Amino acid sequence: MKNIKLTDNTISLKNINSLINWLKKNPRLTKGDLTLKFEKIFSNWIKRRYSIFVNSGSSANLLIAQGLLEAKMLKNKIMIAPAVSWVTTVTPFLQMGYDVKLCDCSKSDLGLDISHLEKLCKRYRPSLLILVHVLGHANDMKSIKKICSKYKVRIIEDTCEALGSTYEGKNLGTLGIASTFSFYYGHHISTIEGGMLTLDDKKLYNILLSIRSHGWGRDLENYERNQLEKKYKIDNVRSLYTFYYSGFNLRPTDLNAFLGIQQMKVLTKKIRIRFRNFKLYLKNLSSFWAQQSGAKTVSNFGYAIMVKNRKELFDYLKKNKIETRPLICGNMGQQPFWLKRYKRPHLPNAEKIHQYGLYLPNHENLTEKQVKYICEKVKLKALPYNFT
């Protein structure tokens, strides 16, 4: 049995050969027409009005963190983030001066714990919530939307692990005011590095376009740019070099966009295989706790398990050529970057994830035979933890 990796050849040899041929004919590689084409393809696929391609999923979170402030769409800078998430789900908001409160995780879908979410909303009256659809599983969106409506909280979906998962007939990533995706090598599709931000609000879209590129006006839609030029009395000499917002350089390149366009052609197939593998894990590890959600299609990023002997199992699987890792990165409230700023919060479910959680490989090149082999090795060594 060859090494079974957490991810494997996301960018195919066919994609690489196509890229080589394209590179020979296109000496200018920075953001251009292919970026616009990729954005349009992605918007049509995800079924949102606008998409903005950036240089990483982390940058997509940074972009929306700054954009909401520039658009003055928030009643305050208090926000809620999931304890079980990724570091740059949280840190861009800290960097932009938000007061971040961590929410514990659900024992079923590993998204937000509904009871804790309501307590946080009632106590802090936040203006913003970012959630993560952990490993491709939907949060309890009905309950979350009800709570957020009650307390007037805007929702952002970090959908970096859930591209292609569906909930009540809609793609995850279309259920809040904005959503973010990652196209890093280890994700469902890859542009080497890259990410996407999707939304439906025209005004916010234009602000984000400007912030992505320094804060200047040249990327704005004509009407928006003309309005700003009129407001600030900008002539045609200064038009391309006037900065309306406090921005960054978060741009991708057309090289990244070229790969993204190629990857979109096989995305549906990748999702189907990931879902198949998830169901196979579920069947073969039936004696273990299993992550479950209301997602109709689970574009599973990795299969989550909870075990008492995590270190022992990790080493055993490694010896048997199976790569595994902590369940995302555990509890944000126990990470050093958080503890430098705040006291360790009491998040009992997330603390168990931090101590007992692992996830197993799932990707489009993983065969049914390999999934069964992984399950056999897990059952031989693992001591299941009853996470109920």
Q: State the Cα angle at 143 between 275 and 136, rounded to 5°.
A: 20
- Tell me the average pLDDT of the chain: 97
Same domain? For 171 and 278 the reply is no
Q: Please tell me whether residues 225 and 327 are part of one structural domain.
A: no
**287 and 228 in one domain?**
no
pLDDT score at 361: 98
pLDDT for res 270:
97
**What is Dmax (Cα atoms) for the chain?**
73
Would 285 be classed as within a structural domain? yes
Domain shared by 212 and 165, yes or no: yes
Same structural domain for residues 230 and 349? Answer: no
C-alpha–C-alpha distance, residues 52 and 176, integer Å: 16
Residue 327 pLDDT more than 90? yes
pLDDT in tens, 45-87: 999 999 999 999 999 999 999 999 999 999 999 999 999 999 9
Which tokens go with 311? 């270190």
pLDDT band of residue 308 (cuts 50, 70, 90) is very high
**Which residue among 233, 264, 295 closes a domain?**
264
Read off the pLDDT of residues 225-234 as tens digits, 9 standing for 90 and up. 999 999 999 9
Average of per-residue pLDDT across 238-242: 95
Contact 183, 176 (CB under 8 A): no
* Together in a domain, 243 and 297: no
Mean pLDDT of 190-215: 98
Q: Is residue 3 part of a domain?
A: no
Whether residue 142 is found in the same domain as residue 177: yes
Q: Are residues 72 and 110 in the same domain?
A: yes
Co-location of 212 and 290 in the same domain: no
Half-sphere exposure of 88 (CA within 13 A, CB side): 15
Q: How far is CA 203 from the centre of its chain?
A: 23
Q: Is residue 224 part of a domain?
A: yes
Task: Give the number of domains in the chain.
Answer: 2
- Of 264, 295, 323, the one marking the end of a domain is 264
Tell whether the model's pLDDT for residue 147 goes beyond 80: yes
Residue 299: its pLDDT value, please?
98
Residue 1 has pLDDT above 80, yes or no: no
Tokens at 244, concatenated: 């309306």
Residue 272 domain-assigned (yes or no): yes
CA distances from 303 to 277, 279, 323, 339, 343 (A): 9, 10, 12, 29, 31
Average pLDDT on 367-371 reads 97
Q: Is 8 within the bounds of a domain?
A: no
- On whether both 299 and 259 belong to a single domain, the answer is no
CA distances from 31 to 63, 201, 251, 263 (A): 17, 23, 7, 18
Residue ending a domain, among 264, 294, 311, is 264
Whole-number Å distance between alpha carbons of 299 and 184? 16
- Quote the pTM value: 0.96
Judge whether 5 lies within some domain: no
pLDDT above 70: percentage of residues in the chain: 100
Return the SS3 of 74: coil
Same domain, 245 and 166: yes
pLDDT at 388: 83
Check residue 26 and give its pLDDT.
83
Q: Write the CATH number for 156.
A: 3.40.640.10
pLDDT in tens, 158-178: 999 999 999 999 999 999 999
Q: pLDDT confidence of 2, banded at 50, 70, 90?
A: confident
Count Cβ atoms below 10 Å from residue 369 Cβ, excluding itself: 9
Is residue 333 predicted with pLDDT exceeding 90? yes
pLDDT at residue 293 above 90?
yes
Domain of 274: which CATH number? 3.90.1150.10
Rounded to an integer, what distance in angstroms lies between the CA atom of residue 72 and that of residue 151? Answer: 18
pLDDT score at 27: 80
- Looking at residue 28, its pLDDT comes to 81
Contact 126, 80 (CB under 8 A): yes
Does residue 328 lie within any of the structural domains? yes
Q: Starting at the earlier edge strand, list the strands of the sheet with 357-360.
A: 303-306, 357-360, 325-326
Establish if 114 belongs to a structural domain: yes
**Domain housing 168:** 13-264
Dihedral (Cα; 92, 95, 101, 103), 10-degree rounding:
20
206 with 328, same domain: the answer is no
